[in-house]
Amino acid sequence: MDFYSQNREDLTSEWGRLGVSQAHVRTIMAGAYKKLSSCPWAEATPPRLLKNWLDEHAQVLKVERSKIQVSMYDSSVKFLFKLADGYEVESVLMPESSRITICLSSQVGCAQGCIFCFTGKMGLKRNLRASEILIQVIEANRWIEENANWLKALNLPSFQRITNVVFMGMGEPLDNLNEVTKAISIMKDPWGLNLAARKITISTAGHLDGLKAALESMPNISYALSMHATSESERSKLMPINRRFPLGDILDFLREKSKSYEKDFLIQYTVIHNVNDSLEDAAMLAQLLADINVKVNLIPLNPIEPSRLNSPDPKRLEAFRDFLYEKGIRVMIRYSKGQDIMAACGQLVTNRLPS
Ligand code: SAH
Ligand code: SF4
């Protein structure tokens, strides 16, 4: 049994048959997710029979932190985690005022092949299990606990831990929806990581079927659409997934959903020099988003090699933002964090194959 892949319901039903009470499940989950113990039942004093069973049958996933880099500019922290089969995934901690956000990976690599994205260039190696998604949060929380100076330098209290989760690392989360959903159920659970649902964001390149299913089963979390273009043809060039799920269909769905969904959808728009940064693009964007509840993040492209795509000119970028703003759209330019440690969007990549 892969312990971190079991949510409260799984544990209760599986262990209930062994005579384990809810109270024990609760203490063991507290050991795992609050005390961050690598043997969550060590202190839980479960019945001897159960303890023997656990020691024999339950595995508590361990990963190696093979590399940790702290940005000199903004204190973001990039982790490289080595999984049991040798593959590596990356996660990034991003402090911002009183929040600590972690950017998580959902897959090793990605099948979608967006042309501006490093991870896309790797192709898909495999999906992550729920436990491999959660361990990124657990390990990062352990690191925070061990590095009191990091919190201190940021003027954060010593008990502060991760408050927000975004699935914006490696992979397309909606291509691995089952495991992502399981991991999120443990993140939200007061017995688990106890994060508010709205502080968990799934970002998608536009997997419409997955988005429909996710909104159905997880209506309270937040969603981001990586849009990046205003015409079908241009978007299909940048993001092959657009041929399968055209932008028009996705926006129709978001428009319809806007009537019942209480929160805003986040629209991510990576701005690429001379590709999607004209005022005509801004006008078209404003028109397409007119009756959808959105917030727009403009992300200046982080150039990847080899590629002919370039970062936008700052003046043009600001003009693009101002245009949207004047149209009444809530918009921000999001300079990526951790540029000096290659932790920025689209720079999460590992080439290492299992050794
Ligand atoms: N697969 C999901 C989530 C991971 S990518 C998605 O595509 O939404 C997280 C964000 O980084 C996406 O908006 C993606 O388009 C953006 N991104 C990828 N490569 C980038 C680059 N080189 N520069 C800036 N943003 C990039
Ligand atoms: Fe995959 Fe997202 Fe990168 Fe596209 S931008 S290749 S969907 S990780």
CB 354 within 8 A of CB 86: yes
Sheet containing strand 164-167, strands side by side: 64-70, 77-82, 88-96, 99-103, 164-167, 200-204, 222-226, 265-271, 294-300, 330-333
Kindly state the DSSP code that residue 59 receives in the 8-state scheme: B
50 and 110, same structural domain? no
| Lining residues, ligand 1, CB within 6 Å | 116-117, 168, 172, 203-205, 226, 268, 270, 299, 301-302, 304, 345-346
Residue 352 lies in a domain: no
116 and 31, same structural domain? no
11 and 149, same structural domain? no
188 and 43, same structural domain? no
**Has 39 been annotated as catalytic?**
no
Question: Which parts of the chain register pLDDT below 70?
Answer: 45-46, 337-355
34 and 174, same structural domain? no
Residue 344 is predicted with a pLDDT of 60
Question: Could you say which of 110, 114, 117, 345 is catalytic?
Answer: 345
Q: Tell me the CA distances in angstroms from 37 to 29, 137, 159, 268, 285, one per residue in order.
A: 10, 13, 16, 37, 48
Look at the pTM and tell me if it is higher than 0.85.
yes
71 and 33, same structural domain? no
Residue 348 lies in a domain: no
Residue 178 lies in a domain: yes
State the closest ligand 2 atom to the C-alpha of 113, by its place in the atom list counted from 1. 6
- Nearest C-alpha to atom 17 of ligand 1 is from which residue? 346
pLDDT 10s digits, 267-314: 999 999 999 999 999 999 999 999 999 999 999 998 887 788 999 999
- Nearest C-alpha to atom 6 of ligand 2 is from which residue? 120
Ligand with an atom nearest the CA of residue 122: 2
Residue 345 is predicted with a pLDDT of 59
149 and 24, same structural domain? no
47 and 177, same structural domain? no
Residue 42 is predicted with a pLDDT of 79
Q: Compute the C-alpha angle 269/185/102, nearest 5°.
A: 45
C-alpha of residue 287 to centroid of ligand 1, in Å = 23
83 and 161, same structural domain? yes
CATH of the domain at 185: 3.20.20.70
Residue 129 lies in a domain: yes
Per the structure, the count of domains in the chain is 2
CB 324 within 8 A of CB 227: no
Residue 353 is predicted with a pLDDT of 44
Largest CA distance in the chain: 70
**Has 114 been annotated as catalytic?**
no
Last residue of a domain, one of 57, 86, 103: 57
85 and 17, same structural domain? no
244 and 139, same structural domain? yes
State the closest ligand 2 atom to the C-alpha of 170, by its place in the atom list counted from 1. 8
Residue with tokens 């001379």: 274
Residue 55 is predicted with a pLDDT of 83
User: What range does the domain containing 20 cover?
Assistant: 3-57
Sign of the dihedral defined by the CA atoms of residues 41, 43, 46, 47, in that order: positive
CB within 8 Å of 315: residues ≥ 6 apart? none
Residue 28 lies in a domain: yes
